[in-house]
């Protein structure tokens, strides 16, 4: 029962991310059509290709920038390790601080995932219209 609810929650999140990404792709394509309908140098699908590169790069940068331990957590781990060495076992250890920081849900990871999916869908639209 619990596994089934967890699968539903995961599938709901994936569907939400995919739907947000597809809606961004559709809006970007129609904006490109409106802005570039009379341009002979670049077509709306080629503009979508370059936008897809930008979305992928920015999404990966957001994913890489927030995926690990940040500076403040590193200093907290160092201080807690020093306090544990000085005071003994009754302090919060570095492994508890690292575990709390790494597994916290952060908004930039979701945003980065949506941007990466958007870039992939933009590439798909470009390569399907060649």
Q: How many CB atoms lie within 10 A of CB 121?
A: 20
pLDDT of residue 20: 96
Phi then psi for residue 39, to 5 deg, are -85, 130
pTM for the full predicted model: 0.70
What would the pLDDT profile of 73-105 be if each residue is shown by its tens digit? 666 666 666 666 656 566 555 555 555 555 454
Burial of 40 by CB count in 10 Å (0-12 exposed, 13-18 middle, 19+ buried)? exposed
């Amino acid at each position: 029962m619990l596994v089934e609810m967890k699968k539903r929650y995961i599938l709901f999140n994936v569907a939400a991310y995919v739907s947000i990404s597809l809606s961004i792709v559709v809006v970007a394509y129609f904006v490109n059509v409106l802005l570039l309908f009379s341009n002979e140098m670049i077509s709306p699908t080629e503009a979508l290709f370059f936008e897809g590169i930008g979305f992928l790069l920015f999404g990966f940068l957001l994913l890489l920038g927030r995926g690990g331990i940040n500076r403040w957590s590193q200093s907290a781990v160092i201080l807690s390790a020093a306090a544990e060495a000085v005071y003994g076992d009754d302090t919060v250890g570095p492994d508890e601080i690292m575990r709390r920081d790494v597994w916290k849900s952060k908004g930039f990871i979701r945003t980065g995932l949506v941007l990466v999916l958007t870039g992939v869908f933009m590439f798909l639209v470009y390569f399907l219209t060649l």
